[in-house]
Amino acid sequence: MLIANKHAARIPYPDELRSIMSIERAEQSRRWLSGWSGIARAATPLHELPGLAARLKLAWLGIKDESLRSPLGSFKALGAPVALLRQVLRLHPGFDPESVLAGRHAEALKDYTVISATDGNHGRALAAAARDAGCRCVIVLHARVSAERERAIAACGARIVRIAGNYDASVTEAARLAAEHGWQVVSDTSYDGYEDIPRDVMQGYGVIASELVEQSGGRPPCTHVFLQGGVGGLAAGVIGYLWETYGARRPRFIVVEPDQADCLYQSALAQSPACASGSVDSIMAGLACGEVSPLAWRFLRNSVDHFMTIADDAAIQAMRVLAAGGHGDIPIVAGESGAAGLAGLLVSMRDETLAGALGLDADSRVLVINTEGATAPSVYEQCVGMTASSVLSRQEACLARP
């Protein structure tokens, strides 16, 4: 389903939003994270997909590959670590920012405990950052998080708490445990009285847009950007940076989420933060969220041009398209949530009415973001029909060609 946002504005970036999240703070986050061993030193690649662009009859199609952001395998390595860092600096303003994640203040932090709910990637990133900083970490997992993802988080040193129910239930349990034990919640979703840390998480995601602007030589990189939904943090972080950079010349933003986890779509209908209308049970685990982050909604309500929902099968098809490569395109490993933006584009281009509503034509330059690799390798193989390692081998061979 697709809905146009009648409140989307093409105006300079509002001062009200800049006071919350800005290019300046995103660049600061980028500098502070650059020395962390858990993150890649270089910008993640922006790959052109000329073969797929030709098949879709687009002028250009690019994909920013966040699967290479970190050994953790996703863009979440930008959010939780910088939020943890900023929280530590609020408690210890005299600490050197670049030394915190290097563990040089571990003795002072050894009794400090952070906690979060997660579908996998955020919790893994927080656990890795907490381990390197020297503090303790507790991660709350709901019933649908796979044992494979649980093992990956536990391997980073976190204590795991399992609950019945969905992601939103795990958020509630994390808040309860934090209040009971005096722990600090480090979440990517905001709620009443809790905005500073979710803001810091979103600010970290602005690093993706910072790199994109550099890789595009400062020019508007595209006419359309398809972004994953979830609670809205990724979209808000990327949109905020690009909106501040390009003002009224910003790209058209389309936010994509699962049919059954349509909290952003429902928020667009209500024009205020709303809950999903479905079961919130999707193969796109990172996007299976029942409630929008109210803070993220403040950035999305006047910037997103269209909100879109897709079926799980569409995400799987997009994963296979990226894995196949060919026709001049590099093979790419994209997880279930990672392929959602491309899935939205593919669905749109198969329907002339949808493509027309989105203004997609032969002059369109489209960007999608692969937000994760095969963070659950067995699920990836089931969906794609080949292993992630085999796709990466073909990717390496493609990159090695002169």
- The answer to whether residues 224 and 196 touch, using CB atoms and an 8 Å cutoff, is no
Fold match, 2-73+197-400 / 80-187 = yes
Q: pLDDT at position 48, please? A: 96
Please check the confidence at residue 220 and state whether its pLDDT lies above 90.
no
Mean pLDDT of 337-355: 97
Residues 64, 76, 312, 329: which is the catalytic one? Answer: 76
Please check the confidence at residue 191 and state whether its pLDDT lies above 90.
no
Q: pLDDT at position 119, please? A: 84
Q: pLDDT at position 22, please? A: 97
Which one of 3.40.50.1100, 3.40.350.10, 1.10.510.10, 3.90.320.10 gives the CATH number of domain 80-187?
3.40.50.1100
Question: Which is more confidently placed, 145 or 234?
Answer: 234
Q: The tokens of 257 are what?
A: 């989420």
User: In a 10 Å sphere around its CB, with 0-12 CB exposed, 13-18 middle and 19+ buried, how is residue 136 labelled?
Assistant: middle
Q: pLDDT at position 167, please? A: 84
Residues 15, 96, 110, 119: which is the catalytic one? Answer: 119
Please check the confidence at residue 227 and state whether its pLDDT lies above 80.
yes
* Domain topology for 2-73+197-400: Rossmann fold (3.40.50)
Please check the confidence at residue 7 and state whether its pLDDT lies above 90.
yes
- The 3-class SS string of the chain reads CEEECCCCCCCCCCHHHHCCCCHHHHHHHHHHHCCCCCCCCCCCCEEECHHHHHHHCCCEEEEEEHHHCCCCCEHHHHCHHHHHHHHHHHHCCCCCHHHHCCCCCHHHHCCCEEEEEECCHHHHHHHHHHHHHCCEEEEEECCCCCHHHHHHHHCCCCEEEECCCCHHHHHHHHHHHHHHHCCEECCCCCECCECHHHHHHHHHHHHHHHHHHHHCCCCCCCCEEEEECCCCHHHHHHHHHHHHHHHHHCCEEEEEEECCCCHHHHHHHHCCCCECCCCCCCCCHHHCCCECCHHHHHHHCCCCCEEEEECHHHHHHHHHHHHHCECCECCCCCCCCCCHHHHHHHHHHCCHHHHHHCCCCCCCEEEEEECECCCCHHHHHHHHCCCHHHHHHHHHHHHHCC
- The answer to whether residues 228 and 235 touch, using CB atoms and an 8 Å cutoff, is yes
Question: Which is more confidently placed, 381 or 221?
Answer: 381
Q: Give the residue from 195, 80, 87, 74 showing the smallest Cα distance to 139.
A: 80
Q: What are the extents of the domains in the chain?
A: 2-73+197-400, 80-187
Q: pLDDT at position 146, please? A: 87
- Told to judge if 76 belongs to the known catalytic residues of this protein, a careful annotator would answer yes
- Told to judge if 262 belongs to the known catalytic residues of this protein, a careful annotator would answer no
Q: Is 349 left (phi over 0), alpha (psi -120 to 50) or beta?
A: alpha
- Model pLDDT for residues 18-74, shown as the tens digit of each residue: 999 999 999 999 999 999 999 998 999 999 999 999 999 999 999 999 999 999 999
* pLDDT above 90 coverage of the chain, percent: 90
- Model pLDDT for residues 229-267, shown as the tens digit of each residue: 999 999 999 999 999 999 999 999 999 999 999 999 999
Mean pLDDT of 214-228: 91
How would residue 401 be classed by pLDDT, with cut points 50, 70 and 90? confident
Q: pLDDT at position 177, please? A: 97
Q: What is the largest CA-CA distance in the chain?
A: 60
Rounded CA-CA distance 127/137 in Å is 6
Distance of CA 195 to the CA centre of its chain: 18
375: amino acid identity, one letter = T
- Model pLDDT for residues 86-124, shown as the tens digit of each residue: 999 999 999 999 899 999 999 999 999 999 999 889 999
- Model pLDDT for residues 280-297, shown as the tens digit of each residue: 989 999 999 899 999 999
Mean pLDDT of 164-171: 88
Q: pLDDT at position 219, please? A: 82
Instruction: Calculate the alpha carbon distances from 354 to 4, 29, 49, 57, 147 in Å.
Output: 11, 37, 22, 15, 38
Rounded CA-CA distance 324/328 in Å is 11
Q: The tokens of 289 are what?
A: 């969220």
321: amino acid identity, one letter = V
Mean pLDDT of 153-174: 93
For all residues of the chain together, what is the average pLDDT?
95
Q: pLDDT at position 165, please? A: 87
